[in-house]
């Protein structure tokens, strides 16, 4: 592995005279705890990562997070609408969304009114582009539908909250202020119900949040109870959140080593081994770094302990991997129809944008992975395994993105 001057400077800043903040926090934990939202009938989620570089763009994303509802255009395709209805209707049909006509008024969605009932609104699309396109056959449908989505109950942040550097000034100006202007903090004298229904936010640190040894992140995120109008329930730089119907979201802190420390690994293993996460549950794993892209790109395997944890979760319990770090959106799925979790990168919270032409569409095919990373070797991971005292797995699954 090549060590660059920038990495050396960071390691000197973080580790000379300091403990790994993840390990230091783990000694304070007396029991395995997690945030439990499973008693709710439904939980609406949102995700963002990599913000702060541009104020206008960061505020735009913050404003979208804070809206009581968002209007999302949906093509007037019967199959697509049917799938959307099926996804939004509960098993007993109670939460069936309303299909509105052109003359219907949209039902306002806020914290106090039918948050769990999205609305379809059929509207006429008479935009100049659409009208012009219909004449030459490029647009065959004269109508589209608008799906009204309620504000998320829980927001998950994938790290790099105030790109490019962590400091008190940067966190306030690039992260906290845009959120406060979008959704102001609820004061203690406000209605108690408002406080109970206040949305929550869970955040994992990115590599740029680690540049000062995690000091600023701990001060503003872990040691605080609120940021703007969102609660901050987490007590560590990593978290586990139990949602309704057996779904979990795990936020993993990979630090600057792009891997889990041992106490964090044991924390998530305990959730599996104590039966808190059952065999039929589904787990969405958040990391800042999408190692399924970076590892083959730089021809280096990372995240050995992370891969062991993913093995323990196993398929189909591992439902999705979600990351930021790269400031664009990409999604990889098995092209041969085989099973495997989606590998999603979504890093567009306000920092500058990366292009999407790299990595190419077939980047994760078996031939390319083998040529860039070579065959998976048990011996090659022996040193990493010894460092954390883990047994070597027979193989690393496709779920890790590097197997």
pLDDT tens-digit series, residues 58-76: 999 999 999 998 888 777 7
Kindly state whether residues 58 and 160 are assigned to the same domain.
Answer: yes
**Inter-residue contact 259 to 301 (CB < 8 Å):** no
Q: Give the structural domain span for 246.
A: 5-66+154-400
Domain closes at, from 150, 173, 193: 150
Kindly state whether residues 48 and 86 are assigned to the same domain.
Answer: no
Kindly state whether residues 62 and 73 are assigned to the same domain.
Answer: no
Average pLDDT score over residue span 4-25 = 51
Kindly state whether residues 223 and 307 are assigned to the same domain.
Answer: yes
Tell me how far apart the alpha carbons of residues 225 and 278 are, in angstroms, rounded to a whole number. 30
pLDDT tens-digit series, residues 216-242: 999 999 999 999 999 999 999 999 999
Kindly state whether residues 199 and 252 are assigned to the same domain.
Answer: yes
pLDDT (0 to 100) of residue 141: 41
Question: Does the pLDDT value for residue 6 go beyond 70?
Answer: no
**Inter-residue contact 244 to 41 (CB < 8 Å):** yes
Domain closes at, from 129, 150, 171: 150
Kindly state whether residues 181 and 276 are assigned to the same domain.
Answer: yes
Average pLDDT value for the chain: 76
Total count of domains within the chain: 2
pLDDT tens-digit series, residues 347-367: 999 999 998 887 787 777 777
Q: What are phi and psi of 286, to 5 degrees?
A: -100, 130
Kindly state whether residues 205 and 314 are assigned to the same domain.
Answer: yes
Domain closes at, from 94, 121, 150: 150
Kindly state whether residues 146 and 159 are assigned to the same domain.
Answer: no
Question: Does the pLDDT value for residue 296 go beyond 60?
Answer: yes
Q: How far is CA 146 from CA 71, 81, 121, 124, 143, in A?
A: 6, 11, 5, 10, 10
Kindly state whether residues 276 and 135 are assigned to the same domain.
Answer: no
**Helix segments in 274-364, DSSP class H:** 291-298, 304-313
Q: Which two tokens stand for residue 116?
A: 């769990």
Kindly state whether residues 268 and 372 are assigned to the same domain.
Answer: yes
Q: What are phi and psi of 317, to 5 degrees?
A: -65, -35
């Amino acid at each position: 592995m090549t060590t660059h001057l920038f990495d050396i400077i960071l390691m000197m800043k973080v580790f000379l005279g300091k403990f790994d903040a993840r390990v230091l926090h783990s000694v304070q934990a007396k029991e395995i705890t997690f945030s439990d939202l499973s008693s709710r009938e439904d939980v609406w989620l949102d995700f963002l990562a990599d913000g702060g570089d541009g104020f206008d763009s960061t505020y735009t994303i913050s404003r979208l997070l804070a809206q009581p509802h968002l209007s999302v255009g949906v093509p007037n395709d019967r199959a697509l609408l049917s799938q959307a209805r099926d996804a939004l209707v509960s098993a007993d049909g109670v939460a069936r969304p309303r299909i509105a006509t052109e003359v219907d008024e949209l039902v306002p969605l806020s914290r106090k009114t039918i948050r769990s009932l999205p609305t379809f609104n059929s509207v006429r699309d008479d935009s100049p582009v659409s009208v012009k396109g219909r004449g030459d056959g490029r647009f065959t449908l004269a109508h589209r539908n608008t799906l009204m989505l309620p504000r998320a109950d829980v927001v998950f942040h994938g790290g790099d909250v105030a790109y490019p550097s962590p400091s008190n000034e940067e966190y306030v100006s690039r992260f906290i202020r845009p959120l406060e202007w979008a959704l102001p903090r609820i004061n203690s004298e406000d209605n108690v119900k408002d406080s109970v229904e206040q949305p929550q936010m869970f955040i994992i640190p990115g590599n740029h949040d680690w540049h000062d040894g995690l000091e600023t992140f701990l001060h503003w995120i872990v040691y605080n109870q609120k940021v703007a109008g969102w609660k901050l329930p987490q007590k560590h730089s990593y978290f586990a959140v139990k949602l309704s119907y057996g779904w979990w979201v795990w936020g993993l802190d990979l630090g600057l080593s792009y891997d889990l420390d041992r106490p964090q690994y044991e924390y998530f293993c305990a959730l599996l081994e104590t039966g808190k996460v059952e065999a039929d549950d589904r787990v969405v794993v958040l990391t800042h770094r999408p190692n399924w892209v970076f590892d083959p790109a730089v021809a280096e395997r990372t995240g050995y302990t992370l891969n062991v944890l993913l093995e323990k979760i196993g398929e189909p319990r591992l439902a999705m991997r979600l990351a930021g770090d790269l400031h664009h959106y990409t999604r990889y799925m098995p092209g041969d129809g085989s099973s495997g979790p989606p590998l999603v990168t979504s890093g567009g919270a306000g920092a500058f944008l990366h292009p999407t032409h790299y990595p190419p569409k077939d980047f994760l095919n078996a031939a390319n992975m083998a040529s860039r990373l070579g065959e998976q070797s048990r011996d090659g991971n022996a040193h990493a395994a010894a460092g954390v005292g883990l047994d070597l797995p027979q193989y690393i699954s496709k779920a890790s993105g590097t197997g």
